[in-house]
Amino acid sequence: RKIKENISEIQTRRGKEPGHIGVASPGLAAKDERSIANMQGRLKGIEGLVWTDFLNSIRPVFVLNDAHAALLGELWQGAARGYTNVILLTLGTGVGGAVLADGRLIKGHIGRAGHLGHVSVNSDGAPDIVGTPGSLEEMIGNYNIASRSGSRFASTRELVEAHLSGDVDATRVWLRSIHHLAVAIASFINAFDPEVVILGGGIARASAALFDPLNSELDQLEWRPLNQRVQIIPAALGEKAGAIGAAYYAAKGKTT
């Protein structure tokens, strides 16, 4: 309902219907890009919802994965501008991902490409929401910080604050999470050969507390042929990245 109200408000303000509408959502977008075809365990009611019908739109409403949309937003107006090979990771409640290769967003056969949060970094670990054992999302996502910290912390923000204040246990948990992130990124770099890796989401706002130890880990883990080091940089658009990317995608007629 709120979404419909927002669109109606925009329409009233502009005096005409939106020329293009894009929707960014967690999950795998359907091949016809009119809905989310698969989303396990989150946002009940989104899976299978055809947005063109839901919004009573006279024009097609393009639907894409939220991390894919965030990367397109960063490509258009943010940290990915000027690059053609980029990995984006969104570190928040879970871990989202997207890959730009030679200027094109990789989607894959069923839209699964770029879902890097569900890559296993510990095959003996607990299963994540899609059943992947020891996934990157399981190792650094905010949703299970309580279990990773022995119920000491309710959020990654609390964990980082304790780490910065000298709490030894918090430091151990935090640096272990960063180690798993570095292991994953080093593998992603080999797989996709990016110019930059962009980190967004709430956890990325830890700034130096994240980027400094992460870069130190990558000094040990990253393969750097020809003395080429991949830059690890923060996202620029914050929470608006997905909305900006969805608008860009719809306006371009999903040609990217």
pLDDT at 252 over 90: no
Whole-number pLDDT of residue 173: 97
140-168: per-residue pLDDT in tens? 999 999 999 999 999 999 999 999 999 99
47-100: per-residue pLDDT in tens? 899 999 998 888 889 999 999 999 999 999 999 999 999 999 999 999 999 999
Q: What's 2-67+241-251's CATH class?
A: alpha beta
pLDDT at 118 over 60: yes
Among 134, 138, 131, CA closest to 120 = 134
Whole-number pLDDT of residue 223: 97
Residue range(s) in the chain whose domain bears CATH number 3.30.420.40: 2-67+241-251, 82-235
List the alpha helices (DSSP H) in the chain: 2-14, 51-54, 66-77, 136-140, 145-148, 156-164, 168-192, 208-221, 241-251
Cα 190 to Cα 185: distance, rounded to the nearest angstrom: 9
**How many C-beta atoms surround the C-beta of residue 111 within 10 A?**
20
Q: What's the CATH fold of domain 82-235?
A: Nucleotidyltransferase; domain 5 (3.30.420)
Whole-number pLDDT of residue 213: 98
13-53: per-residue pLDDT in tens? 877 777 788 999 999 999 999 999 998 777 778 889 999 99
**Average pLDDT of every residue of the chain:** 93
SS3 61: strand
